[in-house]
Amino acid sequence: MIQFVEQILQFLSYIFVFLIGLVLLVAAVLFVIDRTQTGDAIRRNYPVIGRFRHLFTTLGEFFRQYFFAMDREEMPFNRAQRDWVSRASAGKGNTIAFGSTRNLNIVGTPIFVNAAFPPIDDQFAQTAPMEIGPHCRMPYVAPSIFNISGMSFGAISRPAVEALSQGAAEANIWLNTGEGGLSQFHLSGGCDIVFQIGTAKYGLRGPDGRIDDDKLRTIAAHDQVKMFELKLAQGAKPGKGGIMPGPKVTPEIAAIRGIPVGKDSYSPNRHPDIDSFEDLLDVIAHIREVSGKPVGFKTVVGGPEPFHDLFRLIKKRGPESAPDFIAIDGGEGGTGASPMPLMDLVGLPIREAMLMVSDLRDTYGYHDRIRLIASGKLINPGDVAWAIAAGADFVTSARGFMFALGCIQALKCNKNTCPTGITTHDPRLQKGLVVERKSERVAHYARSVISEVEMIAHSVGVAEPRQMRRRHVRIVQSDGSTKPMNEVFPRTQSVNDFVS
């Protein structure tokens, strides 16, 4: 027995010596490679150990998220925001103990003004449905203030689209297709659909790259398709088009988008057939006439001047010519892939943009004609309630619903390696996303947001969210005091200042 143990120990010592030798050999090879290469100065000056810098830089992204960052420090969404969505989508209670972890002294922080005598139980009201497109043959009576923003099939996976569709139907909210066309997966749950028309006209493309009216009629014939949205720009990359590499253009995606299989497909940075607001209103009128359904557009605000021009033109043509809705995406909006300068530096944040556009819309007299939709990192009830008080009629979210699907903010959306199966087309990774379970989380999340926005509305003294006004919100100032939002951003403009 002792001899056997000695043999085992001797064998292990040989293995140990072999491993040490192998490590030294590999280190020597790497030393030579690092010393002779010319692309990386750190590895050239510090062979072998310089390689750990890249490793630690990569791992640091994950360690900060899980171990080092405080609950409200992370970007683009902090742990407190993600945890709220996680609990809400699981159908769990969202009460907390002891006290708020939010710093209420940060300049610009909105604080809702609680009423001295809020409405009691029998004076509460659920948010009423709102009509969009009164001049259409088929107006849309939208049932919910909170809905799913554009995420195309291709940008997100098949099971993700199916889960969103089924969850949207269960929660009675709409689902925006994104610019990738209408797939059977969007329709699978039976929810209301907003068909987004991107610059490449995917799903509606004719041979000349313009909208094919026959295809438009076919899409509009779906009862589930309630509205059409012309995408002029999105917050993460205003003024930037895109490319879908040929290897990703599978026969399935090619058929949905109306493009050749296996070939690169480019999205222009704007609609080639829309050179002015005159063209924009003409195209909107054409789509509305052919489809019979409400038509609006999505854009990013850079300043008030373009909206003056738009509303003046509508005044000249008449209210029937107006878009049925305008979706405002904040410059802080997200996407799967975007150049950093555009994502960081172009486009006004939603906190300024929504106030600006709602002021102009109301000043020109289109409060009841043009509905406003707010988008841009609005994923929690307080964000949604603020947008409604600022003048939005509806709020949409993409990343909030991605968190409901199980997104862990791995920041791998553009690499086809999403570990949760949401933004990848790798079948192995998609298996982790179980449609039946995730659709329940989507519905729970939507209901929770709507319920808690209604709770905020009741707290400030109104029966339902759309009765909230700027006076119900106070904004933290640089000296730590607060001012009513209607004083910080007063409605002082007169239509006579802008219309001759």
**What is the DSSP code string of 351-402?**
HHHHHHHHHHHHHTT-TTTSEEEEESS--SHHHHHHHHHHT-SEEEESHHHH
Given a contact cutoff of 8 angstroms between Cβ atoms, the answer to whether 491 and 362 are in contact is: yes
**DSSP 8-state class, residue 210:** S
Q: What is the pLDDT along the chain (500 residues), one digit of tens a residue?
A: 677 777 777 777 888 888 888 888 888 888 888 888 877 777 777 788 877 776 666 655 555 555 555 555 555 666 667 676 777 777 776 666 555 667 777 888 888 999 888 887 776 777 889 999 999 999 999 999 999 999 888 778 889 999 999 999 999 999 999 988 999 999 999 999 999 999 889 999 888 878 999 999 999 999 999 999 999 986 555 555 666 667 667 788 888 888 888 887 778 888 888 999 999 999 999 999 999 999 999 998 888 899 999 999 999 999 999 999 999 987 665 554 555 555 555 668 888 899 999 999 999 999 999 999 999 889 899 999 999 999 999 999 988 898 888 877 777 676 777 777 887 777 888 877 789 988 999 999 999 999 999 999 999 999 899 999 999 999 999 888 999 888 888 875 565 554 44
Given a contact cutoff of 8 angstroms between Cβ atoms, the answer to whether 37 and 43 are in contact is: yes
Instruction: Report phi then psi at 454, rounded to 5.
Output: -65, -35
Q: Which helix (H) or strand (E) holds 168?
A: helix 158-171
State the Cα–Cα distance between residues 132 and 421, nearest whole angstrom.
Answer: 35
> Which pLDDT value is given to residue 500?
45
Domain 121-497 class in CATH: alpha beta
Please report, for residues 105, 397, 448, the alpha-carbon distance to residue 102 in angstroms, rounded to integers and kept in the order given: 9, 22, 20
| β partners of residue 327 | 298, 373
Query: Residue with structure tokens 């497909």?
Result: 265
Which tokens go with 273?
A: 């057939």
Which residues fall within 8 angstroms of residue 172, CB to CB, at 6 or more apart? 143, 144
Which residues fall within 8 angstroms of residue 17, CB to CB, at 6 or more apart? none
pTM of the model: 0.83
**What DSSP assignment string belongs to 409-455?**
--S-TTTT--TTSSS---HHHHTT--HHHHHHHHHHHHHHHHHHHHH
State the Cα–Cα distance between residues 401 and 235, nearest whole angstrom.
Answer: 17
| Domain extents in the chain | 2-68, 121-497
Which tokens go with 261?
A: 């299989």
Q: Is 333 helix (H, G, I), strand (E, B) or coil?
A: coil
**DSSP 8-state class, residue 212:** -
